[in-house]
């Protein structure tokens, strides 16, 4: 039996061994290099990037809370028309690829953005841009964790405190706040962790001047090669993310045990103050979350050629040029292939990722559906790639496979490493939900093992499999960090193409970036909707 079980683990385990643990040891071995460790310049770079990472992550988290806490109150305490729609909209950014978010803000606020037609200001390359995008991404975390805790908070506890003589401040200070503390802490940790490891947003909106650990690893791996330094930075990064995830797991466990689930206490805003609060916040949230996402497709279809002529001779108008250009292979193009080829590449990579992650993940999910001690021991190993950053995965590939990396197969392999935990986590509960008795009943009724699988397991699992496949597909489509490090110039993916277009001057390049980002946004949003629709009332934190 045990022997059979190990076979279930073998494919995934071998895969991880070769493509994750081996590169990890390569990175580790590079860090034991005294000349790098003692080099003053390296120390300075390490110190600065570490400080800046903490600085921007702290600021981002703070700002996310400033928007997130009132929003959590809004969604948990009040009922208003369009509430579930607004709540869904705030959750969209979290699942969008970083390049799309960066392009979206660029299309609204960037130097060629829609708003810059009316006012002129510096947006790209500022810390503000990074911070705004981080708030855009992570507010939904605060809304979800703190909002849930708030709506589960028994209002009678606060009432008890009031009757016992506590004024509203003391009620908050001694009852509400202590009860919410685990949720506040957990969401703060998660938001901080995401900001700490943020890469695409910082590179695309801030530029390489804003060197966080992650950006610095990328710079030292590709632009100003110093692989030893990149390895050291990776290990520091891994160390911190591991600490944050341990702390997060600990606090999130306390969140649900302290309060009792209850029916919704949300009510319509009644007093003037409440109405103003709800109206203002709804307006603010809609503007903040909808404008960038709408301005992206609009900008991709708009001619705003302010750059060529004089400012006062701007030609406005509708255009499909940017989309048409995607199919043309220009001589001075940034690519050897027509840009649209990037879309085909992305889709093929995504397809291969789905294939890989399903065939590796399915046996593991079967093993985990009825876990033995061995399974429980092996399980966390599979989650490790999640804790390491994408850029680090890329660095590991470069260090381990050298010239072999020219094979385009390495991109979907990297994507599989990232998608595998999600695939397993999606399949496992579905497999677990099939009672053993069902299979036994089918076989006593005369069904062969194949027939059992066909008639029982497949119909039940097809939904979960579709969800898992969509997860893998979406992750692969939007993946930026690892791909940036390992992809070949002649096989660009959509995110890479967007990044290259954005980093080049000229209205046409900019427009094409917008067009590609719009396509990617449509693809991923469709996938998200598909996942939401097929997901069988599964709820968890994240």
Binding another protein by CB under 8 A: which of 3, 118, 165, 318?
A: 165
Q: Is 227 in the site for another protein (CB under 8 A)?
A: no
Q: Does 154 bind another protein (CB under 8 A)?
A: yes
- Using rule CB under 8 A, residue 166 touches another protein: yes
Residue with Cβ nearer another protein (158 or 305):
158
Contact letters (x/-) for another protein, 175-204, by CB under 8 A? x--xx-------------------------
Q: Which region, judged by CB under 8 A, interacts with another protein, from 67-75, 151-159, 410-418, 457-465?
A: 151-159
Only one of the segments 152-160, 196-204, 316-324, 407-415 lies at the binding site for another protein (rule: CB under 8 A); that segment is: 152-160
157 part of the interface to another protein, by CB under 8 A: yes
Q: Which helix (H) or strand (E) holds 318?
A: strand 316-318
Shorter beta-carbon distance to another protein: residue 175 or 390: 175
* 79 lies in the binding site for another protein (CB under 8 A): no
> What distance in Å separates the CA atoms of residue 103 and residue 136, rounded to the nearest whole number?
13
Q: Is residue 174 within the footprint of another protein (CB under 8 A)?
A: yes
DSSP label at 336?
A: S
> In angstroms, what CA-CA distances link 383 with 212, 388, 391, 424, 478?
24, 9, 17, 10, 20
Q: Which is nearer to another protein, 178 or 317 (CB)?
A: 178
Nearest to 238, CA basis, from 211, 210, 214, 202: 214
Segment lying near another protein (by CB under 8 A), choices 96-104, 154-162, 294-302, 405-413: 154-162
**Smallest distance from the beta carbon of 271 to another protein, in angstroms?**
11
Binding of residue 163 to another protein (CB under 8 A): yes
Per-residue x/- track, 238-277, another protein (CB under 8 A): --------------------xx------------------
For residue 390, what are the contacts with CB-CB under 8 A and spacing of at least 6?
199, 414, 418, 479, 480, 481, 482
Choices 48-56, 57-65, 169-177, 505-513 (CB under 8 A): range interacting with another protein = 169-177
Distances (CA, A) of 60 to 128, 244, 406, 461: 10, 16, 37, 40
> What is the dihedral sign for C-alpha 500, 502, 504, 509?
positive
User: Mind giving me the DSSP string for 9-69?
Assistant: HHHHHHHHIIIIIHHHHHHHHHH--HHHHH-HHHHHHHHHHHHHHHHHHHHHHHHHHHHHH
Binding residues for another protein, rule CB under 8 A, total 20
Residue 142, CA distances (Å) to 74, 151, 267 in order: 12, 13, 21
- In the bound complex, what is the minimum distance in angstroms from residue 175's beta carbon to another protein? 6
In this chain, which of 44, 55, 120, 167 binds another protein, going by CB under 8 A? 167
Question: In Å, how far are 136, 215, 511, 530 from 52, measured between CA atoms?
Answer: 20, 11, 32, 38
Contact segment (CB under 8 A) with another protein among 107-115, 164-172, 242-250, 310-318 equals: 164-172
Query: Would you give the DSSP letter of residue 457?
Result: I
> What CA–CA distance (Å, rounded) separates 93 from 521?
10
Could you list the residues that contact another protein (CB under 8 A)?
154, 156-157, 159-167, 170-171, 174-175, 178-179, 258-259
């Amino acid at each position: 039996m045990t022997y059979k079980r190990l076979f279930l683990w073998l494919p995934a385990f071998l895969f991880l061994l070769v493509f994750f643990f081996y590169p990890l040891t390569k990175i580790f071995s590079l860090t034991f290099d005294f000349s790098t460790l003692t080099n003053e310049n390296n120390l300075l770079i390490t110190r600065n990037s570490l400080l800046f990472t903490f600085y921007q992550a702290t600021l981002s988290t703070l700002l996310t809370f400033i928007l997130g806490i009132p929003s959590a109150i809004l969604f948990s305490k009040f009922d208003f028309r369009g509430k579930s729609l607004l709540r869904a909209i705030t959750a969209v950014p979290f699942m969008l690829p970083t390049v799309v978010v960066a392009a979206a803000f660029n299309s609204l606020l960037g130097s060629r953005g829609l708003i810059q037609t009316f006012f002129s200001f510096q947006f790209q390359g500022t810390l503000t841009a990074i911070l705004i995008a981080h708030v855009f991404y992570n507010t939904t975390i605060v809304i979800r964790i703190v909002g849930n805790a708030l709506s589960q908070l028994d209002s009678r506890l606060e009432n008890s405190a009031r009757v016992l003589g506590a004024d509203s401040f003391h009620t908050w200070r001694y009852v509400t706040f202590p009860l919410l503390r685990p949720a506040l802490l957990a969401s703060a940790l998660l938001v901080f962790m995401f900001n700490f490891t943020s890469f695409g947003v910082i590179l695309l909106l801030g530029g390489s001047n804003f060197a966080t650990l992650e950006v610095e690893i990328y710079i030292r791996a590709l632009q100003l090669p110093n692989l030893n330094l990149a390895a050291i930075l990776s290990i520091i990064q891994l160390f911190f993310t591991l600490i944050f995830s341990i702390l997060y797991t600990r606090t999130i466990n306390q969140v649900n045990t302290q309060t009792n689930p209850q029916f919704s206490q949300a009510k319509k805003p009644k007093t003037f103050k409440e109405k103003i609060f709800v109206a203002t916040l709804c307006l603010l949230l809609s503007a903040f979350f909808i404008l960038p996402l709408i301005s992206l497709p609009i900008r991709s279809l708009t001619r705003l050629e302010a750059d060529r002529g004089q400012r006062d001779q701007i030609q406005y108008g509708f255009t499909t040029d940017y989309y048409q250009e995607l199919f043309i292979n220009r001589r001075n193009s940034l690519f050897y292939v027509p840009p649209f080829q990037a879309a085909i590449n992305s889709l093929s990579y995504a397809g291969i990722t789905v294939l890989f992650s399903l065939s590796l993940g399915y046996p593991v999910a079967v093993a985990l559906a009825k876990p033995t001690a061995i399974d429980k021991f092996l399980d966390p190993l599979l989650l490790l790639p999640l804790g390491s950053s994408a850029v680090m995965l890329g660095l590991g590939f470069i260090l381990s496979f050298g010239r072999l990396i020219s094979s385009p197969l390495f991109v979907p392999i990297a994507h599989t490493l990232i998608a595998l935990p999600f695939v397993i986590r999606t399949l496992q509960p579905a497999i677990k939900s099939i009672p053993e008795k069902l299979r036994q009943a089918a076989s006593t009724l005369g069904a062969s093992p194949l027939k059992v699988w066909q008639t029982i397991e497949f119909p039940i699992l097809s939904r979960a499999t579709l969800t898992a496949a969509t997860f893998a597909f979406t992750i692969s489509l939007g993946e930026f960090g690892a791909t940036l490090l390992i992809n070949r110039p002649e096989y660009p993916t959509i995110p890479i193409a967007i990044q290259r277009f954005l980093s080049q001057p000229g209205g046409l390049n900019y427009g094409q970036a917008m067009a590609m980002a719009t396509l990617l946004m449509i693809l991923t949003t469709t996938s998200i909707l598909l996942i939401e629709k097929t997901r069988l009332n599964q709820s968890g934190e994240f």
